[in-house]
Amino acid sequence: MRLAFISDIHGNLPALDAVLADISLREVDATYHLGDLVGYGPWPNEVIDRIRARGIAGIAGNYDTTVALGHDTCGCQHDDPVQKALSVESYRWTTAKVTPGNKRFLASLPFRLDLRPFGGHAAGPAVIIVHGAATLNTVYWREDRTESFCRKMIARLGANAGDVVLFGHTHKPWSRVVDGRTLVNTGSVGRPRDGDPRGSYALVDLGADGADIRFPRVAYDLDRASAAIVAAGLPPALGAILRTGGLRTSD
């Protein structure tokens, strides 16, 4: 059983299409998204349309919910005042751009999904997906979190030994096993922050021996994304950030 998990697309249509094309070559049984479909990128509605057209089930990210429900901010963290100003401008633009119908769709996304890839009538691992953390999407489940933090999240999620828990939100891919639970941060399709500008997703192979995790990286047309950011009236710095793999920002 092979599953693909995509997260934090952030309105970046060429990155999404490149990742979906890569997934299509890997004999994947199913693909799920982990939220933050919109924000920062110039194609929020097009990304939502693509996800819906492909029938990709998934959950709400912090950006999706705040745009859908009209919050004052996206609930993102900022390294410095420049990044905060960029984020505020992006949030205002995205809130104005996403159509009422798509806001209703974003508002309808669940907080978490529980999968039983081998069927609910048979033994086998559960796969749990959330956007940020067990109870809140404003919490960043980073690679340097302590074992104690991970255990707390595992308990709140109700994950059992052998289960796989996937999340995104930090835009940096990593994987780790804690008390027999495989923890996976997918990284970001459309706004990586680990210094590699290529889109990231998680490929999970589930079998009798457990879970094998990979993080394919997929190049896409950065020139097209940067030009579209400018043409849309978004800050050009958002394109520069994509080229550096997010080293100059946080969200």
Under rule CB under 5 A, which residues in 5-64 are in contact with Fe ion?
A: 8, 36
The residue among 38 and 115 lying less far from Fe ion, judged by its C-beta, is 38
CA 42 – CA 202 distance, rounded (Å)? 24
**Residue among 171 and 181 whose Cβ is closer to Fe ion:** 171
Positions of E strands within the chain: 2-6, 30-33, 57-58, 112-115, 127-130, 164-167, 174-178, 181-185, 199-200, 202-207, 210-214, 217-218
The reply on whether position 194 binds Fe ion by CB under 5 A is: no
How many residues touch Fe ion (CB under 5 A)?
A: 2
Cβ at position 8, least distance to Fe ion in Å: 4
At its nearest, how many Å lie between Fe ion and the CB of residue 210?
A: 28
Minimum gap (Å) between residue 34 Cβ and Fe ion: 9
Q: Are strands 181-185 and 164-167 parallel, antiparallel or unpaired?
A: parallel
Nearer to Fe ion (CB atom), residue 125 or residue 173: 173
Q: Quote the least distance from Cβ 102 to Fe ion, whole Å.
A: 17
Round to whole Å and give the CA distance between 204 and 127. Answer: 10
* CB 35 within 8 Å of CB 109: yes
Sequence-distant (6+) residues with CB within 8 A of 50 are: 13, 16, 17, 20
Residue with Cβ nearer Fe ion (36 or 194): 36
CB of 199 to Fe ion, least distance (A): 13
Q: How far is the CB of 61 from Fe ion (least distance, A)?
A: 6
**Integer Cα distance of 66 and 183 in angstroms:** 26
Cβ of residue 123: shortest distance to Fe ion, in angstroms? 34
Residue nearest to Fe ion (CB): 36
Residue 69 or 155 with smaller CB distance to Fe ion: 69
* Cα 39 to Cα 195: distance, rounded to the nearest angstrom: 19
Residue that the structure tokens 């950065």 belong to: 222
Residues 221-240 that bind Fe ion (CB under 5 A): none
Pairing of strands 199-200, 210-214: unpaired
Identity of the residue, 22 or 36, whose beta carbon is nearer to Fe ion in the bound complex = 36
Nearer to Fe ion by Cβ, of 16 and 211: the residue is 16
User: Site residues (CB under 5 A) for Fe ion?
Assistant: 8, 36
